[in-house]
Amino acid sequence: MDSILVRGGGALQGQIPIAGAKNACLTLMPATLLSEEPLTLTNAPRLSDIRTMTQLLASLGAEATSLQDGLVLALSSHGKINTHADYDIVRKMRASNLVLGPLLAREGHAEVSLPGGCAIGARPMDIHTDGLEKMGAQIELRDGYLHAKAGGGSLKGAVIDFPFASVGATENIMMAATLAKGTTVINNAAREPEIVDLASCLRAMGAQIEGDGTSRIEIQGVDRLHGATHRVVTDRIELGTYMLAPALCGGEVECLGGRIDLLAAFCEKLDAAGISVTETEAGLKVARKNGRISAVNVTTEPFPGFPTDLQAQMMALLCTADGTSVLEEKIFENRFMHAPELIRMGADIEVHGGTATVRGVKQLKGAPVMATDLRASISLILAGMAAEGETKVARVYHLDRGYEHVVTKLSGVGADIERIRDA
């Protein structure tokens, strides 16, 4: 098993290219199931989750070819489609559930295993299935699989009111609705950039969608979708993560492809903490304004609020801030598992339920730590880059699910970091 070895202390300087969005690409890939014509995705991230989705689509009868060193995905579902999404693949990744809507829309039935993913709390499928049932699907859970069948062989338009703005459910219903009979309205829809990106791709395939980026999305079903080429949006979570690197370590880093509109709430918190974010022709340039970081309070919220997927990384920054910061996690429970590992590095953190109180210390100290999930992995690496001495981050297989070429990107701006094989 691999670990990441980090030696802290140095300021950073240079440029980091930001990849295409993992969460967007994992949503876009199942859209190939909606058409018999080819779907080509450019600016694809090169991650293990993308490979897992490729395996899942192949098991369903789709063709998925990686081109240009993985930056382009050529997808096609022109042959016979298998509607059984097997547990052995689906268990590896939460986003696997996004084949349910497209399979139901195209084939009228599907059997999809309940999904897996990082252990960061319950993320139930009820909101997905409730929405599909409003569209005429009959769904039953048996032996760990969702057995779904569209009444009369096809889904029908419906008005769906989500109890909360679920990203995955919005995506699943959007894809299902593109081929449904009639008009589907999603109220309290998620507004994330990944939703807008999916709608853009589906429109390029011939779908009729309005309102993406707002809380009300309307989809008029069509008889068929055609092929398209679509560029995956910039990964706002990778962007935010690497923006925090010079904030923690000092120096100045330009994140290529970055846009403030993808992370407005996050950028506001950085400004309050004493971090300068400047737009350039190529992306975003990030540096400390002066001296130490100021404490700020953070509450995770659905977009356009502060992203839950940047909470762990922000905590790493606030560990050395002047004063006391309070972080409230309102999206997922059990998402402070990185806190005990940061405490091993000298951080002063108290966790009570969904709230973490962080009292800034003068300096973190290197220590052996263990990653518990994807975002925890990178938060510990960032903390290690700012710590005195050496930090060894174990169980970094999580990292490969969401960050491509971490060592290359961070060492390219001056970080002392390497990946090692444990004995």
**Confidence at residue 370, expressed as pLDDT on a 0 to 100 scale:** 94
pLDDT, average across residues 169-197? 98
Measuring CA to CA, which residue among 320, 313, 267 is closest to residue 294?
A: 320
Mean pLDDT of 1-29: 95
Between residues 34 and 398, which one has the greater pLDDT?
34
pLDDT for 386 equals: 96
User: What is the Cα–Cα distance from 399 to 63, expressed in whole angstroms?
Assistant: 27
Give the per-residue pLDDT at 123: 47
**pLDDT tens-digit series, residues 134-151:** 999 999 988 889 999 998
Mean pLDDT along residues 19-38: 97
Residue 121's pLDDT is what?
Answer: 41
Greater model confidence, 209 or 400: 209
| Residue listed under structure tokens 């079903």 | 221
22 is in an annotated binding site: yes
Q: Residue 373: what pLDDT?
A: 87
CA proximity to 417, closest of 245, 273, 292: 245
DSSP 309: G
The answer to whether 23 is annotated as binding is yes
What does the pLDDT read at residue 306? Answer: 97
Write the CATH number of the domain with boundaries 22-231. 3.65.10.10
Please give the model's pTM, rounded to 2 decimal places: 0.91
Q: How much is the pLDDT for 79?
A: 87
Mean per-residue pLDDT, 203-209: 98
**Minimum mean pLDDT range among 57-61, 121-125, 285-289:** 121-125
Which of 118, 249, 255, 267 is catalytic? The answer is 118
Element (H, E) at 56: helix 48-59
In the prediction, which pLDDT does 307 show?
A: 96
Residue 94 pLDDT > 80: no
Average confidence (pLDDT) over 212-223 = 98
122 or 411: whose pLDDT is higher?
A: 411
Q: What is the pLDDT of residue 192?
A: 96
Is 331 labeled as ligand-binding?
yes
Domain topology for 2-19+234-421? UDP-n-acetylglucosamine1-carboxyvinyl-transferase; Chain (3.65.10)
For residue 300, give the nearest of 337, 329, 257 by alpha carbon. Answer: 329
Residue 92: its pLDDT value, please? Answer: 81
pLDDT at 120: 33
Q: Quick one: average pLDDT of 57-76?
A: 95
Q: What is the pLDDT of residue 372?
A: 87
Whether the link from the prior residue into 30 is cis, omega within 30° of 0, is: no
Predicted confidence (pLDDT) per residue in 364-390, tens digit:
999 999 998 888 899 999 999 999 999
Would you state the pLDDT for residue 56?
A: 96
Model pLDDT, residue 333: 73
Residue 124's pLDDT is: 65
Count Cβ atoms within 10 A of the Cβ of residue 359 and give its class: 0-12 exposed, 13-18 middle, 19 or more buried: middle
Q: What is the pLDDT of residue 119?
A: 40
3-state DSSP helix/strand/coil percent for the chain, to nearest 5? 35, 30, 35
Q: pLDDT band at residue 423, thresholds of 50, 70 and 90?
A: low
**pLDDT tens per residue, range 333-346:** 778 999 999 999 99
Q: What tokens does 381 get?
A: 């690496």
Q: Is 118 a catalytic residue?
A: yes
pLDDT at 331: 87
Identical fold at 2-19+234-421 and 22-231? yes
Supply the pLDDT for residue 116. Answer: 54
Place 111 in a pLDDT band, splitting at 50, 70 and 90: very high
Tokens of residue 416, six digits: 């002392």
Residue spans of the domains in the chain: they are: 2-19+234-421, 22-231
Q: What's the whole-number mean pLDDT along residues 170-179?
A: 98
Q: Which two tokens stand for residue 277?
A: 């974010």
The yes-or-no verdict on residue 122 having pLDDT over 70 is no
**CB burial string 11-29: b at 16+ within 10 A, e below:** ebeeebbbbbbbbbbbbbb
Percent of the chain with pLDDT over 70: 98
Rg (CA), the chain: 22
Burial code of 304-332, b = ≥16 C-beta within 10 A, e = fewer?
Answer: bbbbbbbbbbbbbbbbbbeeebebebebb
Read off the pLDDT of each residue in 109-132 and give the average, rounded to a whole number. 74
* pLDDT reported for residue 291: 82
d(CA 9, CA 388): 6
Q: What is the mean pLDDT of the chain?
A: 94
Please check whether residue 55 is in contact with residue 88, taking contact to mean a CB–CB distance below 8 angstroms: no
